[in-house]
């Protein structure tokens, strides 16, 4: 890939990398992030003429170290007239974002919809954005490696840019660092970057952020990724051959919804996903034996992620195949049945407070001797950006700025806030799209750079059964009470 310098007005950008496997419009998107000049306004001189969006780099003879000249004016904030109607395009970009009611889309930089959809889902988490904003450039936190640090910084800067503009954003810097940190996302076929698995991108980004955004007494990070997304599991292992029994604990960032011929609903798939078999050496038998493993949730997160296990390796065709079976999922998910006995006990009081508050809205609340009806009703919140206590990854979360006698507590009930879908027959092809619930309650379909408003009743129809978009990863937000 040649590296060129670009002269624009009085500025010189000395090291701009050209990916010659991508059309020139991608290069123009890079320059847009540097200069603010939209691609359609850019006039770049090469080989005696203007660079066209669909030109073939191989015929242009661009060499390493070459100096290119660009002309064009950057976006400017147009002042609204003092009198008369005010149009949205006349507003500052920050006000345009408020006016449209959602953040910007992301340009597809060549089979990057897997990345764009992942980013749009995670961008919807306000607590994550708050944690990223506190992450500074100076020094690498928590002794993480260079590219993990750079990927966290790139995520922070990209999320901030999405919140500042209503126009599509080109995530060039993020993509560049992602491919350096995780080279599998830089795979090419016949000189073209390949489509990748959105679940793998989600998992790798979540792992990186969990390492860099870790709360501690000396940390400025206000909330740990573990608190937001981490799920603690306790598992019972049983060997039928030897009669051995043991237990183990682990932390994951998503539950699995396994799909088989008898799974029609998310609840059934989650039940299958918490049961498995594994083979390991038995200390009693002194040889390998089969163990059954049954897991229960011992710690719940603020945001619960579920992956539909739709892809498997098909030996006949030597590629990933997709399970198209329809699996319904609800707008409201209750995971109480999947919790350990100890966690169920902790959830009893919060769930009772939630029921009483919701009943009060319909005039069904029974008289309460200890608290007024209004006080109980006011105690309930749907976790709209309330602060999480530093280093408090428990089911009882201290809420800063409130009385120490009241704490924000999880109920085991979650509301759907994001769906990442896949359309196509293979994980390494097809198209990924994000469907995200906004703070105003409206749903937006983020099809790369094209945000499209959607009705809530249509979101649960992305459940599969054909070649249309179907849920691959879904994310729920905890419904909490303050008691």
Kindly list the catalytic residues.
113, 431
Rg (CA), the chain: 25
Residue 59, number of CB atoms within 10 A of its CB: 8
Distances (CA, A) of 474 to 195, 214, 279, 296, 462: 20, 24, 30, 20, 11
Distances (CA, A) of 321 to 315, 317, 421: 10, 9, 16
Three-class HEC string of 121-188: HHHCCHHHHHHHHCCCCCCCHHHCCHHHHHHHHHHHHHHHHHHHCCCCECCHHHHHHHHHHCHHHHCE
Question: For residues 23 and 21, what is the distance between their CA atoms, to the nearest angstrom?
Answer: 7
Residue 474 DSSP one-character state? E
Beta-sheet strands, E only, within 49-139: 49-50, 67-71
Only one residue has tokens 């990927």, namely 151
Specify the 3-state DSSP secondary structure of 68: strand
CA distance 221 to 391: 10
- CA gap 458, 329 in Å, rounded: 12
Count other C-beta atoms under 10 Å from residue 113's C-beta. Answer: 24
Give the C-alpha separation, 456 to 141, whole Å: 40
Number of other CB atoms surrounding residue 335 within 10 Å: 23
């Amino acid at each position: 890939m040649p590296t060129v310098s670009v002269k624009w007005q009085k500025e010189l950008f000395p090291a701009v990398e050209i990916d010659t496997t991508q059309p020139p419009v991608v290069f123009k998107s890079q320059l847009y992030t540097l200069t603010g000049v939209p691609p359609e306004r850019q006039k770049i001189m090469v080989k005696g003429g203007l660079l066209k969006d669909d030109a073939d780099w191989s015929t242009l003879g661009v060499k390493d170290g070459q100096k290119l000249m660009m002309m064009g004016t950057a976006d400017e904030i147009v002042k609204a007239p003092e009198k008369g109607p005010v149009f949205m395009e006349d507003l500052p970009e920050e006000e345009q974002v408020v006016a449209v009611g959602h953040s910007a889309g992301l340009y597809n930089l060549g089979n990057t919809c897997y990345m764009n959809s992942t980013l749009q889902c995670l961008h919807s988490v306000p607590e994550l954005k708050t944690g990223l904003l506190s992450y500074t450039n100076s020094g690498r936190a928590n002794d993480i490696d260079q590219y993990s640090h750079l990927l966290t910084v790139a995520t922070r800067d990209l999320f901030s840019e999405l919140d500042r503009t209503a126009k599509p954003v080109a995530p060039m810097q993020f993509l560049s660092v992602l491919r350096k940190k995780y080279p599998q996302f830089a795979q090419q076929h016949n000189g073209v970057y390949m489509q990748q698995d959105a679940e793998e991108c989600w998992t790798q980004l979540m792992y990186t952020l969990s390492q860099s955004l870790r709360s501690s007494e000396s940390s400025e990070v206000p909330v740990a990724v573990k608190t937001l997304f981490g799920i603690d599991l306790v598992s019972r292992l049983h060997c039928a051959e030897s009669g051995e029994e043991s237990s183990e604990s682990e932390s994951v960032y998503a539950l699995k919804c396994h799909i088989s011929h008898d799974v029609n609903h998310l609840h059934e798939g989650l039940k299958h996903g918490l049961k498995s078999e594994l083979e390991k050496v038995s200390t009693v038998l002194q040889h390998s034996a089969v163990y059954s493993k049954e897991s229960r949730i011992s710690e719940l997160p603020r945001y619960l992620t579920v992956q539909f296990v739709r892809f498997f390796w098909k030996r006949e065709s030597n590629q990933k195949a997709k399970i198209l079976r329809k699996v319904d999922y609800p707008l409201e998910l209750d995971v109480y049945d999947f919790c350990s006995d100890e966690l169920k006990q902790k959830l009893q009081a919060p769930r009772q407070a939630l029921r009483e508050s919701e009943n009060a809205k319909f005039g069904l609340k029974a008289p309460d001797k200890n608290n007024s009806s209004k006080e109980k009703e006011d105690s309930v919140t749907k976790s709209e950006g309330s602060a999480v206590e530093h280093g408090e990854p428990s089911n009882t979360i201290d809420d800063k700025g409130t009385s120490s006698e009241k704490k924000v507590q999880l109920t085991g009930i979650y509301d759907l806030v994001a769906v990442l879908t896949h359309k196509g027959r293979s994980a390494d092809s097809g198209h990924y799209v994000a469907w995200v619930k906004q703070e105003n309650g409206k749903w937006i379909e983020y099809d790369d750079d094209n945000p499209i408003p959607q009705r809530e009743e249509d979101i649960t129809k992305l459940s599969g059964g054909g070649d249309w978009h179907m849920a691959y990863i879904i994310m729920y937000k905890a419904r909490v009470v303050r008691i």
